[in-house]
Structure 1
Amino acid sequence: MAELPVSHDDFDVPVIDVSRWSTGSATERAALASAVDAAARSVGFLQITGHGIPATAGPGLADAMDAFFALPLEEKKTLCAPPEINRGYTPPKAEKLSLSLGVTSPEDLFEAFNVGVDGTAHGEGAAARAHFPANRWPDPHRVPGFREAVETWFGHAGALARLLTGIFAHALGLDEGFFRPYTDHSVDVLRMNNYALPAGETHVERGRMGMGAHTDYGIVTVLWADRVPGLQILGDDGLWHDVLPAEDALLVNLGDALARWTNDHWRSTLHRVLPPTDAEGRLVRRRSAAYFHDGNHDAVISPLPGCVPAGTDPLYPPVTIGEHITAKLAGSRALRPHDDAARESARLLAATDTTATATATDAADAAADDDER
């Protein structure tokens, strides 16, 4: 593997075993909640072990993803959806995650397939159509067992996400069930990612990101990923730090909803994925699957008690989860820069390593090159 830039061995994503949360003593539960609180305040990422997901579920998901992404591009494109529908297939170079922060960059290299909660369980109104669209599944004869493996992982990751929200509530000094009314019809999505170049291309262009810098939009993300370098987290030092999943661990990161609820006491951390390449600059396989536990589309996010210092204003105005996610997706999927992410974009633009985004000149050159092709 080619050496990735800006690697710092002293950057730590805590490994937290949650296996004793439901059955542990009050002392054990308090210690676990304290560890979660410390990670949420300092890093915004955790490595979760003791999650109870069967050992066969991850490999089953990976095999299903491999089978789907191996299909011909034109066949996968039949499962594309309009940008406002967060379902189906996304080809390489179709999205720019950095636009969810209002920051321009070349198109990201990843391809993806999204599934989510089916709206038929939530009625036939406008909200169901907007936030719970029907899934688009590949032909089961072409990808046998795909839907079953994906739905199995969806269920396990969702159960872990809901367990974590109970721990989060406890860590914030709230009743363990505090988040349930905000998540009882959550707009959860599983995004399966594969890092690939369009047909005929073998090398990564300068300035390209596997996945551009962004924060996640909802409450918490449960991430399965290959132990292949690429994922980087922006630290308080303004530098990008490499992160690999620990053995048998799932990476978990907090999203914008928790940052807004806590008035930024807890972190929605900027992260990105560098193109995974070999020493000659050729893209190598890297897969991931991010389960986004985002919350109810009509849940209002406003600061929790005690999170806003006396005599100061909240850092963010109240917003519904649906409004926030819609605005963010309009950036990444519809390529309309999000114009209400000043705090996040300022952190990104101040980062010491600027390879996460193109300069204005790089972006213009990339656009010109695309036009010429």
Structure 2
Amino acid sequence: MANTGIPIVDFEKYGLHVTDAGSVHCEVLKDTARGICDAFSSVGFVYLINHGIEQSKINGMFQTSKDFFSQPMEVKKSCARNKSIGNHGWVGLEVEKLNPDRQAGDLKESFNFTPSEEGSWPSDIFRSTFFSFFSECRQLTMRVLDVLSIGLKLEDKNFLSECHSLIGRKGCPTTLRSLYYPPLSECAKPGQVRCGEHSDYGTVTLLFQDGIGGLEVMNTDDVYVPAQPVPGAVLVNIGDLMQRWTADKLRATKHRVMIPEAELKKRQSRQSLAFFVHPNDEVIVKCLDGSDKYEPISSIDYLNYRFSVTY
């Protein structure tokens, strides 16, 4: 277990290095599934090690993204997100406010990408790097969902992965997002943070952090604690739709990125890569235990609602 109270689970038995996933029997994955579900039902987060995405590919995404965010404003604006037609593109400082109760926007930039949406790109290398990394994240996501189905004791191990079958295609809003938190040269506005307190919208999120740290996760005592980067691990967490789907058995935990207190860290930039996973648009999320604790809702209707209060 990491020193934050977030468990570490070894994904070696089903990571991307396992070339024939179909040959892996459910019995082999039961311990892995139990560890992941235990983490998601308590803190809502888990560090996965031996997940199979090569570190060189993660490093390449970080570097390509940083090169873009370091470009002049005119270059970034040419790739800006047009929310009236989709989610693709660059989002500037203070445009988002993930905690609507905070008066000021978040001190971060981002670039959103899903393969089914058209949009502008700053370069061919940037585009190809995003496409390649999206594919890696999609493959890992499908395996995480299979193991999660086992942990939830669903009759069909493929149930969750089938509900996400359109990832990367039209009809599924799953998004790869590169996030950049620039150095802070001036005083922040009252109550302003790098990323406001929130839970994610979808089913699961894969998060890759740089070595700077700064992410805080609410623990089981409702206290925010640091979620320090674990070398070689991907941090996976539950989103709101999965909490609804499991009638609160799994927990969509609030998290945030605050402004560092130390002056040295204020002058450092920070990066992360988030793969926000959503079911296919038309999937109706209904409590799996039949309790009707939450009203059934389509994946796309819930996402549109959350976007409406974020921007």
State the distance in 2 between where 1:13 and 1:205 align: 31
TM value normalised by structure 1: 0.75
Matches within 5 A, 1:1-373: 11-21=4-14, 22=21, 28-84=28-84, 85-99=86-100, 103-118=101-116, 133-140=117-124, 145-174=125-154, 175-185=156-166, 186-196=172-182, 201-276=185-260, 278-279=262-263, 282-305=266-289, 308=291, 314-333=292-311
TM-aligned CA deviation for residue 104 of structure 1: 3.7
TM-aligned CA deviation for residue 187 of structure 1: 1.9
TM-aligned CA deviation for residue 136 of structure 1: 2.6
Residues 278 and 284, structure 1, Cα contact 8 Å, conserved in 2: no
TM-aligned CA deviation for residue 277 of structure 1: 5.9
Counterpart amino acid of 1:53? I
State the distance in 2 between where 1:59 and 1:280 align: 23
The alignment-based identity, stated in percent, is 27
State the distance in 1 between where 2:120 and 2:10 align: 35
State the distance in 1 between where 2:72 and 2:213 align: 26
Deviations 1:323-359 (A, max 9, x none): 01111111212xxxxxxxxxxxxxxxxxxxxxxxxxx
User: Which structure carries more relative contact order (alpha carbon 8 Å, separation 6+)?
Assistant: 1
Residue correspondences, number: 296
TM-aligned CA deviation for residue 163 of structure 1: 0.7
Cα 1:46–1:115 shift into 2, 3 Å: same
TM-aligned CA deviation for residue 162 of structure 1: 0.9
TM-aligned CA deviation for residue 317 of structure 1: 1.1
Unaligned runs of 5+ in 1: 1-8, 119-132, 309-313, 334-373
Unaligned runs of 5+ in 2: 15-20, 167-171
State the distance in 2 between where 1:139 and 1:177 align: 37
Bigger Rg over Cα:
1
Residues 108 and 212, structure 1, Cα contact 8 Å, conserved in 2: yes
Residues 218 and 294, structure 1, Cα contact 8 Å, conserved in 2: yes
Which stretch has the larger CA shift, 21-30 or 67-76? 21-30
Partner of 2:99, secondary structure, is helix
State the distance in 2 between where 1:324 and 1:197 align: 34
TM-aligned CA deviation for residue 114 of structure 1: 0.6
Deviations 1:205-234 (A, max 9, x none): 442111111111111111111121210111
Cα 1:282–1:203 shift into 2, 3 Å: farther
State the distance in 2 between where 1:236 and 1:88 align: 36
Counterpart amino acid of 1:14? P
TM-aligned CA deviation for residue 14 of structure 1: 0.9
